[in-house]
Amino acid sequence: MTNEDTPIKPWYAVRRSKLHGNGVFAARKIPAGTRIIEYGGERISAKEADRRHPTNPDDPFHTFFFALSSGRVIDGGDQGNDARWINHSCQPNCEAQEGKHGKRVYIVALQDIPRGTELSYDYGLVLDGRITKKLKEGYRCLCGTPPCRGTMLALPAKKKKKADEPEAVEAGA
């Protein structure tokens, strides 16, 4: 058996998650910076994604859509791969990185990930319009990490209040 014939052990395995449904777990130690998997699925227009949404009337907030900077969307539903099972966390160990030409998305390790650890990335979902309490609840986060913001939505940055200008003090006073 040559090196070319040696099977490569995959980085991950899919199994039930304590967070939500299925999850993706490190099958072996994954070094920081490793490109673990490409988010696979059918490339569709945003208009087609709107037409297909919601896919499940019993869970209208759940999709496998991944928006690209080009305006296209990857529908990881029926034609998707295991990347669609990676759950959200507000304190993720992975991130989604768009490829050079805006057509592909890769899940990349942000840190060394020990074997058996569930993989996660921050979905940071962006929606048009006002973020209501109902929307936040519909996209409720279950990660339970210390920085959990309670939703998978990307919340707008809070505006900082301007502090009163400090009074000028004369030198030698």
pLDDT digits (tens, 9 = 90+) for 96-111: 999 988 889 999 999 9
pTM as predicted: 0.80
In angstroms, the Cα distances linking 2 to 5, 6, 7, 8, 137 are 5, 7, 10, 13, 54
Strand, coil or helix: 130: coil
pLDDT of the residue at 96: 96
Which is more confident, 31 or 155? 31
The model's pLDDT over 38-68, given as tens digits with 9 standing for 90+, comes to: 999 999 999 998 888 766 666 666 778 888 9
- Which stretch of 18-22, 48-52, 162-166, 167-171 has the lowest confidence by average pLDDT? 167-171
Mean pLDDT rounded to a whole number for the chain: 85
Q: Which residues are bridge partners to 44 per DSSP?
A: 73
Considering the domain 7-124 in this protein, what is its CATH number? 2.170.270.10
Burial of residue 51 (number of CB atoms within 10 Å: 0-12, 13-18, 19+): exposed
Domain residue spans of the chain: 7-124
